[in-house]
Structure 1
Amino acid sequence: MFMYPNVKPGLPSEAERIRNCNGRVAALNHEPHIQRVWLPHDDTPGLAMSRAFGDFILKDHGIIAIPDIKYHRLTPDDQFIILATDGVWDVVSNDQVASIVWEAESEQEAARLVVEAATTAWKNKSPTAKVDDCSVVCLFLQKKHHVVAVDT
């Protein structure tokens, strides 16, 4: 099981690129664990990612749309692939997602359950905060084998 980290402005290489483009990287006082990208002389927009499509405000200040690509050769032991937005990975651990998906009967059910877990986690984290986008795609690489009890 593995998860590639989200490309965030708190990563040293990302922060350096942003600062080299006159963007600012800083966290808000009430959420010091979340680094955000800000305009050079304005406290907006506070984007919590360093790579994004269509961000016209920060594109000249270090936000890029070039993906950070990693490769993983699939093995016979790999059970499933999960693609999810940062709204999921920011509040639900890799182990939690794997447990949810492992127990699900179908890819659709797995995706729904992971979204529900992430949405609940956002609401529990801060009831007054906005829930981030939580999108998930699940792909089972192997057929699920279920134990069937038979009475004789």
Structure 2
Amino acid sequence: MLGDRFLKDEDLGFLAEPFVSSVEVVPAGSPPAFMVLASDGLWDVVSEGRVAALLAKAAAKEGDGQLWAQEAADLLLKQAVDGRSKDDISIMVLCLQPGMKK
């Protein structure tokens, strides 16, 4: 409900509690994984399964993790816009590489 102040001001019972999926552990030695944090501008028009499929396909062409994460976020943004999202769209993609040294 970030940005939908007019709905919150009407006292219609909307909450600002995010949907949180289950915790997944990425074991060392696994291929890189990703995490998507996005507003409902994406999720209203693109399903979780579709996001996972798009990113899995894009990950096959992976290069530098930071560059890939930006390209992945851009890909998801395009999907939301093409899906005619009527809400604000915020997307962050994190590339998780198990066993990576800091």
TM-score normalised by length of structure 2: 0.63
Bigger CA radius of gyration:
1
Q: Cα RMSD between the aligned structures?
A: 2.8
Aligned residues with identical type, % of pairs = 36
With over 3 angstroms needed to count, the CA separation of the structure-2 counterparts of 1:66 and 1:92, relative to structure 1, is closer
Which stretches in structure 1 are left out of the alignment for 5+ residues?
A: 1-50, 123-129, 144-152
Q: How big is the shift at 1:107?
A: 0.2
| Count of aligned residue pairs for this structure pair | 85
CA distance in 1, matches of 2:2, 2:13: 10
| Greater RCO (CA < 8 Å, at least 6 residues apart) | 2
- Which of these residues, 77, 83, 91, is aligned with residue 37 of structure 2? 83
**Does residue 94 of the first structure (1) align with residue 48 of the second (2)?**
yes
Which stretches in structure 2 are left out of the alignment for 5+ residues?
A: 63-67
1:41-60 to 2 correspondences below 5 Å: 51-52=1-2, 55=5, 56-58=8-10, 60=11
**Which residue number corresponds to residue 65 of structure 2?**
none
**Which residue number corresponds to residue 78 of structure 2?**
116
Which residue identity lines up with residue 44 of structure 2 in the other structure? D
With over 3 angstroms needed to count, the CA separation of the structure-2 counterparts of 1:117 and 1:52, relative to structure 1, is closer
With over 3 angstroms needed to count, the CA separation of the structure-2 counterparts of 1:115 and 1:64, relative to structure 1, is same
Question: Does the aligned pair in 1 maintain the 2:46–2:83 contact within 8 Å?
Answer: yes
Of Structure 1 and Structure 2, which has the larger fraction of its residues in strand? Answer: 1
